Structure 1
């Protein structure tokens, strides 16, 4: 969890109408030893997460990745036991589209067309619950994500002012 966040979350009613969800957001996550920036624009021409690009820049490396279809490109400085230079990997196929059809319970958004990723997470959660083995992703992560989102919206309401996440 960051120590604090500064964020702007904006609707552009002229672009998609007043009923649209948030169209753009940007945040600075403030940690003791780093800043992490996040930005989101909902109107790119590609559908769903296939178009998302996640990048991280550090003092010893750089990572660019896309969740679906999965790919990454990583640069390592070579100072921490890995070979210096770029490593790339790309999923060879992604046969199922991310969102398939709209439903009665979500008429404005198509439902997920390839739930295998979510099925795997749900199975791991149930196994952890039934056997007591530690979960790879603990429930506290969902709580922390909600706390972070709440702080981002609060910061945006305060014109991007810093909102603390420490207790």
Structure 2
């Protein structure tokens, strides 16, 4: 087995340490160096036993054949492009950039990359076993034809004030940086909607103008079904604990929980090995919290405790590099998520008017109907 040697560009995102730990559980993978101009680089590299370097020191290292990008959103694509030009596969932390244009550039770079190089975006909620099992049931027709979908996502109360959710170059705040996880899960299960109606709101009761949106209510319009997505930035529960997706079909329904992962399946009669009525499955509870300590509760420190979805994500990335397996979180889906959320912001400017969602990897037209 040929060794894979990994370096990091950016360490300030809390997912950086989670991916390092998940990678080190995979045979034949080394994580050796990290670059960042943040003063906490030395803390990070000391704690995770790697060398602190500058960007050139990572990219010019011939041993390093894969790079993880955990920079500020505005720098994600430029770092990824440099890594690809240096002949290294990349995983780019979600949402993959700060704007739709960033994701278009990443998609173009992927299409021009040398054969064998893998580009993956850091969406891993879609890889939760509860989500993938539900997708399998939907695709198999176990609950009949899907009629409607209801989804919810949230940021933890207080997170709306962090620099992480208020980066000046980003097209949005909590809906873009946190809500993207659940939108991506919807894209992974149902594809890209034709259009979006949305209200994205600020509330004087909840926050002042030092932070961005407080909540969103979104209608995603598909040809044969509708999906609703509600999001708020002031949830009092642990990250993803109240996030979920309910899928209603002509022969049953599915309720999906993210963390803890859980699945409730209802079928009206025995079908595909499922007994009539409700069947419930739970994979995990919060034995370790998602964030390690109170000091790491928000994005100012780069550490998480619960890395269950990161293990699946990193194994997928490594398998794609080693075997050519399909990318588990492709750039095209990340671009779709960016376009959907951009459409939400544009719909709000038109007081909830329908905004079409562009398809493919060509530059977007300003489509409003």
TM tier, shorter chain? 0.7 to 0.9
* 1:130–1:48 distance in 2 versus 1, CA, 3 Å: same
List runs of 5+ in structure 2 lacking aligned partners.
1-191, 360-369
- The corresponding residue for 1:133 is 325
Matched, 1:62 2:217: no
Cα deviation, 1:37-92, whole Å, max 9, x if unaligned, reads 11112223213212223222222222222111111211123375343211111235
RMSD after superposition: 2.5
- The answer to whether the Cα contact below 8 Å between 1:100 and 1:110 also exists between their aligned partners in 2 is no
Count the aligned residue pairs.
Answer: 165
Q: How far is 1:110 from its partner?
A: 7.7
1: CA distance, partners of 2:209 / 2:304: 25
Q: Secondary structure at the match of 1:149?
A: helix
**Bigger proportion of residues as strand:** 1
Report the 3-state secondary structure (helix = DSSP H, G, I; strand = E; otherwise coil) of the residue aligned with 2:264: strand
Q: Distance in 2 between matches of 1:55 and 1:122?
A: 27
1:165 Cα deviation after fit: 1.4
Instruction: Determine which structure has greater relative contact order: mean sequence separation of CA pairs < 8 Å that are 6+ residues apart, divided by chain length.
Output: 1
Instruction: Indicate conservation of the 8 Å contact 2:259/2:284, yes or no.
Output: no
Q: Give the TM-score, by structure 2 length.
A: 0.41
The secondary structure found in structure 2 opposite 1:51 is coil
Secondary structure of the structure 1 residue equivalent to 2:338: helix
Q: Which has the higher helix share?
A: 2
Instruction: Decide whether aligned partners of structure 1 residues 43 and 110 sit closer, same or farther in structure 2, where only a CA change above 3 A counts.
Output: farther
Distance 1:110 1:125 in 2: 21
TM-score under structure 1 length normalisation? 0.83
Number of the residue aligned with 1:21: 212
Distance in 1, matches of 2:311 and 2:281, equals 24
Deviations 1:110-149 (A, max 9, x none): 8533234224313312321343222244332112111111
Which has the higher Rg, Structure 1 or Structure 2? 2
Q: Does 1:162 align with 2:348?
A: no
